[in-house]
Structure formats: structure tokens, C-alpha cells
Amino acid sequence: MELIDVSDELTFMLRNAAITYAMQVSAEGLLEQLYFGASIAAPQSPSCPLRHCTVMFEDSPALTLNELPQEYPTHGRGDFGSPAFHAVGADNSVFSFLYKSYRVEDGKPTLDGMPSSRGNGAKTLIVTLADAVQQVEVDLHYTIWPDHAVIARRVEIRNVGTEPISLRHVHSSALDLAPGHYDLQHFHGTWAREFNAERLSLTTARFTIESMRGTSSNAHNPYLAVMESGASETNGNCLGTTLVYSGNFAISAERGEFGRVRLLAGLNPFDFNWGLEPGEIFATPEVLHAFSGEGLGGLSHVWHDFVRAHVSPERFRNIPRPTYLNTWEAAYFDVNEDKVLDLADVATGIGVEMLVLDDGWFKGRTDDRRALGDWTADPDRFPMGIPALAEKVRAKGLKFGLWFEPEMVSPDSDLYRAHPDWAISVPGRTPSLGRNQMTLDFSKPEVVDHTYGQLDAILSSGQVGYVKWDMNRNMTEVGSGAKAHRYMLGLYGLLDRLMTAYPDILFETCASGGNRFDLGMLGYMAQGWVSDMCDPIGRLAIINGASHLFPTDVMAAYIGPSPNHQNGRMSSIWARFLAGVVCAARGVSLNGSDIAAHDDALTKHVRFCKATARHMLGARFDRLCHDDNETIWQQTSHDGGIVYVVAFQTLNAPNLPVRRARLRGLDPDVNYAVEGGAVYGGDRLMQHGIALTIPTEDFAAELLILQKVS
């Protein structure tokens, strides 16, 4: 089967065993969308019935753009839906793109300046459309892989005229779905309450998730699923859309008056005004569309396999993550060399492999009101510097990790006093502070260069094996959506330089938890801090929601204090451990006395994490149950040999029924042995299930481990 086939009549088919994406050039030169879904041999051309009171396209008596599914629709020519493209030219804002040419390339052209999925084994179709009046050309990029039910899309806009134009709407993808009954699923939240799943019916209206915060945001993660109204976790056609981008975005689903649904994804058009001079090219971020006919769970498996194979950094794909002790909830800002070395001894005592020095280590940083931007060790608390401290930690048999917040600056800092113009602000207005800090203007190359130099001065010592990259505020006073995008280009340029210079350092993305947990950042960094919420019950919905798109390979979790510092809840060390047990990166953030009080349990948990570290990479994750009072997850190792079933109960109640978990994805013809218990056939475990013995208490958790035996 050819991945891309083009007929003499200019019908374009992108197809593998799982999906088909099809389009064609009409007699008028319009690029019509035909189909996206399960793999089929040949799609049907769209029909546009004649209707009263409709606007016909140019002099075509039987063609109205308001019902014709188009690959890159514009406004002003009879399509009254939301446009994928809108700009202002020298005289007007009416654009109309007609087919010009196409080409097919092996692999995937590089997207300069922004992250994108890797094209290993892929093929890419590039269709060029042109507006001869406005003298603008558009290259529509479509990439398909042989073994993934995913299509990557992006757009390049080229000004081939003699006058500048102003880009306003430049979405990366437009996808029209046939009339039908659809549900939407998106993930909303806020700090410490990220990734709350919400499902709703799509009515005849426009539904949009977006960010205007300078980050992809915890308010609306840049992910939207569209599904048949009857779809479930295991059945039904589902389509997922996300961006490989970390800034202002918009994804919308609009149901028109005749039932057709238009799905748009790309840069947020609000306040976006990008001047494109003659000869210049503007490239949009990459959008990914995934399809599954096996429900939301099947869609998750498509995403997980794809993210691991084509988005996450290859260097760490099969590298078990080190267990660690983080100093944050052990000491907060009150850190010095002696305390860190004492914690290193505590870390070795419970068997973790890495010590992470969090916030508070740099010059003058005794609270969150000062010193961001001055990335040199505090001379009073770390007189020998960070590389020397790291060397002492490493001498104890531990790896050394370090926290940075490189995109921020405190007004009370040497950097701000020297360069107040390097912070994003508006002349004449008092800047808005978030966590007592401002955002550095990464749209300025000199700011990016300075930041790189500061980090390079520490990382070049070779003593740091892990970096936690934080960002603790949304952007304000940016001035325009175009500047926000230039900021992202500056950030991505910095990350690319760092990853090139330090390919063996494990980077973790964090933005007050999940405020920028997206495939853009995870294209550079192998793992992310999904939320600051460390209470086990509070974290269940977060991991459960995030798992719809992200594999647990990219998630980090640690055992935090009880009472929890975010919501005050008391919970057992066992529940706190199990809430993050499926994540690839697992650790501890407790003070010395708390660790001493739970020394035996923590030692046992760390030993378990080290023994199972490889099982958490490439694993199949299934959401067996998630409601207000119960959550059950299944994690199956990549080779299918080990199955972990984790069950949680929020509140206990009298006379509860016996709970059973029906497992998924097992081999029906072999047996599985429960650790310390009975042996069951795979068919029985999937059809009849296995009984759970969750303790009869509030905030309870239980773990079952099954091993394939025959």
C-alpha cells in the first residue's frame, strides 16, 4: 500500500492500514476535503444540494462554499463558517486560494524554529494553493506514517507579491466532518486542578478552547476530541486534535446550519497581526490529528504510541528514569550546602538515585520576592558554588539535579536593575506581577543569548544530570499575539541550543505544574511535572485526564507531605505512593523527619520503583474506571508480561458491593498469576474480571500485580 497516492484527476489519498485522509481538486480549482477516518479504499465526493437563498461561488451555478468541505477555507467568498485563513492585503481582506501544484517527499520537511514530530518512515504531501489577485501562496503540509493512525498538518504562507500583507487568522489545520451527532471532550482546570475531563454534546454553534496567556495553559489544555455521540472508552469512532506548540492557541468545533462540523486548530487569532513582507514566509505550528474506531481508550493508545515514537526525545525513550529526592517540600527556600548534603545522606539511606536541588539556591533567593534572573550560587549558603556541591553529592553515589526558572525575572534582582527593558512591559503602565515576578522578553535575541550564557556556565561543569525547567506565571502586557508568538520562537531557539549542547541531561518541563504541559515542550524535554497537586486523591483526576493524550512515560510524580500542602488532606504513605506509581519518573519530596518516620516504607517503595522502572516505559495504560469515588487503572508492560492494576477509593461506605475490574489487552489464551495468589486465564480476566480488595477506609488504595505464566 502506498502511503500517498495521487490520481491523474488530482484526487489525493493518504492511507495506511488504520486511516485514510482524502481530498481532491474540483473543476473550479478548489481543494475539497473528502474524508478522514478508518482506512477505506475510495472516498465519496461531497455533494452540495441546490438551496434557496444561498450564495454561489463565482459563476458556478451549482456550487456554494458554505457547504463545500474545503482544506483551507477563507472568508468573503460565500463560506460563512469560521475561516482557517484571514488577512488584510493592500486593498482588501478577501482571499481565495485555488490549486496550483503538489509534490510528495520522503520523510518530513524540517519545521525551522518550532518543535514538530519526527518523520521517521513517513511521507509528506505538500499541496500549493495560490491567490493570483492578492499574490499569496499557501503550502499545505500533510504527513502520514505507515504504522500510526495520525496525520500531521501545518501551513506555510508565502508573500509572492510586491506589497506587504497582515496575517490575522493562520490556522494550521481545517477539518470538515460530515453531518452527524457528535460529542466533544476537552480538559479544563487551574493551578493544582489540571486536566478535568468534560464531555458535552456539540450543538449548532461554535465551541472553542483557547489560551491568551502566553502558555498553552492549565485553563484549557490544547487538546480536543470529537466523537460519535455514543462512543465510550472502548467503542466508537473518535478523533483527537492537538498542537505541537506551547503558546497562545485556539481549537474550535463549529456545527453549521446543515450539520457539517468544522474543526480548526492553530495559533489564537485574537490580537494576532503578523506583517508579511514581499518574499517572506510564515510557518504555522504543527497540528496532529489522530483517529480510532475503538473509543477513547483506543484513541489514547494511538496517541501514546505516537508520542513515544515521534515526539519525545529519542535519547531518553528507553532510559529508565532515576528515583529522586527533591528538596522543595523538604526545605523550601531554606537550603544551604550543609542541608543539601544532609539530605543527600537521607536520599542514599532510602535508596533513591538522584538529589534535586529545587528553588532557593541562587544569589539572594530567600523567598519568592527576589533574585530570579541572577543564576549564580548564593555566596553565603553555597560558598563553593553549584558545581562543587554537585560533585560532593555525586561522590555519595547520587546523580545531581537542579531547578531553574530561566524565563522569569524579579524586579528585585541584579538583572532587572541592569536591564529593566528586558522584562515584558508597557511604557507608562505599572507592570502586573505574578508570584512577584515578570517575564523576560524572549522575543529579543540578546535576552535569549544572556539566558543561555547563564545556564551554560553551570551546565558546562558536567556535574548536573537533570534540570527542572519551571515557569510560574502567565504573561501580561505582551502587547500583541504576534509578539507572544515571537516569544515562543525565542524560547524554542534557546531550548534547541541547550538540547544540542547537553543531549545527556534529562530535562523536565514544569509551569506551576501543568500550565504548559504540551507536546511542544515535551518535544524537547523527556518528562513533565503534570501538577503541583501531590495529594493522592487530588491527583487522580489529573493523571486520568492527562492520560487521554500523554503516555505515562512523560509524567513525573513524587510522594509529598501529609497533611498535603495544597489541600490539607491526610493520607497514607501507601496511597501517596500508588497515586504516581504508573509514572515513569517517581520520587520523594519530604523533610528528614518525615522520611525517618516512614523509612521502611519509603525504602520499600523506592526499591519497587527501581525494579519496575523499565516496565513504565512503552507500557499500555488503560482507564478501567474513573468516577467521583473510584478510580482503577491498568498498566501493562511493553512485552505484556507484567500487569499492574491500581485501584483507589475516595470515601468508604458500609456494605459496599464486591468490586471487580475487567482487564484489557491481555492474551486470552494464556494464564496470569496474581502476585502471592491465584492463577487466572487471560480470557477470564478480560470477560469476568478480577475481584478487588480495596481497604475499608477513606482515601484507600490497592495494587495488584499479575505476571504472565503460560
Q: Residue 151 belongs to a domain with what CATH number?
A: 2.70.98.60
In a domain, 291, yes or no: yes
Domain boundary among 266, 282, 310: 310
636 in the same domain as 695:
yes
**Residue 694 — pLDDT band, cuts 50, 70, 90?**
confident
Report the pLDDT value the prediction gives residue 676, as an integer from 0 to 100: 83
Residues 116-129, mean pLDDT to the nearest whole number: 98
* Full domain range(s) for residue 224: 4-310
Report the pLDDT value the prediction gives residue 500, as an integer from 0 to 100: 98
The type of residue at 552 is T
289 in the same domain as 153:
yes
Identify the DSSP state of 596: H
Is the predicted pLDDT of residue 285 greater than 90, yes or no?
yes
Report the pLDDT value the prediction gives residue 573, as an integer from 0 to 100: 97
**Residue 657 — pLDDT band, cuts 50, 70, 90?**
confident
d(CA 247, CA 485): 7
Residues 448-466, mean pLDDT to the nearest whole number: 98
Report the pLDDT value the prediction gives residue 72, as an integer from 0 to 100: 97
Is the predicted pLDDT of residue 87 greater than 90, yes or no?
yes
Is the predicted pLDDT of residue 57 greater than 90, yes or no?
no
Give the residue numbers annotated as catalytic, written as ranges. Answer: 470, 532
**Residue 1 — pLDDT band, cuts 50, 70, 90?**
confident
Query: How many residues are listed for the chain in this entry?
Result: 710
Question: What pLDDT digit, counting tens, does each position of 327-377 carry?
Answer: 999 999 999 999 999 999 999 999 999 999 999 999 999 999 999 999 999
- Whether 574 and 546 have beta carbons less than 8 Å apart is answered as no
d(CA 260, CA 428): 48
**Residue 68 — pLDDT band, cuts 50, 70, 90?**
confident
User: Who contacts 81 (Cβ-Cβ below 8 Å, separation ≥6)?
Assistant: 66, 73, 254, 256, 262
- Whether 136 and 160 have beta carbons less than 8 Å apart is answered as yes
d(CA 610, CA 177): 46
58 in the same domain as 22:
yes
Is the predicted pLDDT of residue 53 greater than 80, yes or no?
no
Average pLDDT for the chain: 96
Is the predicted pLDDT of residue 23 greater than 80, yes or no?
yes
d(CA 139, CA 119): 18
| Percent of the chain whose pLDDT exceeds 70 | 100
Question: What pLDDT digit, counting tens, does each position of 509-536 carry?
Answer: 999 999 999 999 999 999 999 999 999 9
Is the predicted pLDDT of residue 405 greater than 90, yes or no?
yes
Is the predicted pLDDT of residue 120 greater than 90, yes or no?
yes
**Range list of β-strands (E), 46-179:** 85-88, 98-106, 123-131, 136-144, 150-159, 165-177
In a domain, 148, yes or no: yes
What pairs with residue 15 in β-bridges? 20
628 in the same domain as 702:
yes
Q: What distances in angstroms separate CA 539 from CA 248, 512, 551, 567, one per listed residue? A: 26, 14, 16, 11
Residues 129-154, mean pLDDT to the nearest whole number: 97
Structural domain total, the chain: 3
Is the predicted pLDDT of residue 62 greater than 80, yes or no?
no
Residues 481-502, mean pLDDT to the nearest whole number: 98
In a domain, 181, yes or no: yes
User: Who contacts 616 (Cβ-Cβ below 8 Å, separation ≥6)?
Assistant: 320, 321, 552, 553, 582, 583, 584, 635
Q: Which of 647, 533, 626 is nearest to 581 (CA)?
A: 647
Which of 423 and 27 is assigned the larger pLDDT? Answer: 423
Report the pLDDT value the prediction gives residue 334, as an integer from 0 to 100: 97
201 in the same domain as 153:
yes
Report the pLDDT value the prediction gives residue 508, as an integer from 0 to 100: 98
In a domain, 423, yes or no: no
Report the pLDDT value the prediction gives residue 122, as an integer from 0 to 100: 98
663 in the same domain as 544:
no
- Residue that the C-alpha cell 500533510 belongs to: 142
552 in the same domain as 644:
no
The SS3 of residue 312 is coil
d(CA 595, CA 194): 28
Q: What distances in angstroms separate CA 705 from CA 59, 357, 643, 681, one per listed residue? A: 68, 34, 6, 15
631 in the same domain as 523:
no
Question: What pLDDT digit, counting tens, does each position of 187-197 carry?
Answer: 999 999 999 99
Is the predicted pLDDT of residue 48 greater than 80, yes or no?
no
d(CA 515, CA 189): 9
249 in the same domain as 384:
no
539 in the same domain as 667:
no
Residues 122-134, mean pLDDT to the nearest whole number: 97
333 in the same domain as 264:
no
Dihedrals phi, psi of 197, to nearest 5 degrees:
-75, 135
**Residue 252 — pLDDT band, cuts 50, 70, 90?**
very high
Report the pLDDT value the prediction gives residue 188, as an integer from 0 to 100: 98
In a domain, 422, yes or no: no
454 in the same domain as 367:
yes
Report the pLDDT value the prediction gives residue 22, as an integer from 0 to 100: 98
**Phi/psi-derived region of residue 343, left when phi > 0, alpha when psi is between -120 and 50, beta in every other case:** alpha
User: Who contacts 338 (Cβ-Cβ below 8 Å, separation ≥6)?
Assistant: none
Q: Which of 429, 466, 447, 261 is nearest to 353 (CA)?
A: 466
In a domain, 420, yes or no: no
- Whether 589 and 566 have beta carbons less than 8 Å apart is answered as no
Is the predicted pLDDT of residue 280 greater than 90, yes or no?
yes
Is the predicted pLDDT of residue 65 greater than 90, yes or no?
no
Report the pLDDT value the prediction gives residue 415, as an integer from 0 to 100: 98
